[in-house]
Every structure is written in C-alpha cells, then in structure tokens.
Homo-oligomer: A and B are copies of this chain.
C-alpha cells in the first residue's frame, strides 16, 4: 500500500479553509462569508476555496485571505491548523480541506475583490452557535480557537493581534479577551517584561488610554516564551 499508482488514484478536491481571528471593540471576531448557493445557501461559512494546481498550500491560504479581506498584505500570523476530510462533509463530492489559522490586528471591514462582498466580521460567540456555520466549519472554528488559546501560553503570538507598537495594557487585553479571563495587570506587567525576547522597548510613551501614559513596545524576536504564561 505504500506506492502511489499514478494511473489510477481516487480523485479528491482539495481546498483551504481559514479561521481568521481578530479583536474589534474588545470582542474576538472571526471572518465569515455568506453562502449564496446550495448547499447551506444563506448560512455563513469560513472563507476558503480550491487550491490551484500549481499552488503551495500556504500560498493558497494567503491568497484566500488577501481576497477576502481586500488587503494586499495581511499583517499578523498564518499557520496550518488541521485537515478535515470525512467522506460526507461536503454533500456534493469528496473534499479534503486543509484549515489554516490566521491572527490579525483589527482590520478594515472586508471589501473588494471576488466574493468578498459577502464577507463580514462576526463575534466568535455568535459564529459558534450551533447551526450557524455550514459544513463542519463550527468544529474547525472551535479547533482554531482552542489552538490560538493554547499558543498564547507558550508563544509571543498575542502580538499578532496588536498593531506594530503597543502598550502592555493592550497586550494584556488581548490575553483577557482570547482567554475570557481576567488577569492581574501588575503581575502581567512583571511577567511579560521579565520574559526575554518577548518585548522591545521603543522609548516612546503614549497617552491613548485614560490614566498615566504607558511605555510603547514592539514585538521581540523570541519564538517561545520562557517562562510560560499559563492560563489561570
């Protein structure tokens, strides 16, 4: 069973689907598209589409993300999540879908090319309601959300939700929103400033918040947090 037989192989359609997460107005949102055709006409779905014959999988995911957001370069983070291929997951044919997880800072409203007119940001809690998403996309979204939550513990990925320069209070709000948990601002400050490579001081301060002006930081070059920032 090891060798491929180029003459006769069962044909599959291969697509990429995207779990895109961002934070708008202190609420975690995901990017959905409204389906205009059967099956699941009128329901929402994750953005995605066919992989082209000569296109690499990450390229296909990045292309779909650009098309749906209307941005030429989408800032943030993109990684493979998992692959879903149950025989019945698309009633029309056998589709194997490679899901990608994208984290982005607050983006403008979806606009522009392709079917992006039907795209919109939806609070994750709404998108997760049973029956809201088409196909098995609710499960894919749940898996992506759990992956994001877990990675905040051991990677500096929370900065993917932030603009290039941010305060520690803004970073903390990312953790609180993604984890749905309150964190002690003082302990959080001590922890993230003490983790080597996580943050780089810019020397600038801001006063966009209410009280005392805060230091501004940029993302550091660490890829793994040590010590870990565990969920409460």
Contact = CB atoms under 8 A, between A and B. Distances in A.
B10 A12 contact: no
Interface residues of A, number: 49
A6 B83 contact: no
Contact of A51 (B12, B33, B49): B12
Interface in A21-71: 33, 35-37, 45, 47-57, 64, 67-68
A98 interface: yes
Task: State the copy count for this chain.
Answer: 2
Contacts of A64: 1
- Residue from A10, A48, A93 whose CB has the most chain B CB atoms within 10 Å: A10
A3 B35 contact: yes
A215 to B, nearest CB: 30
A13 B12 contact: yes
B87 A56 contact: yes
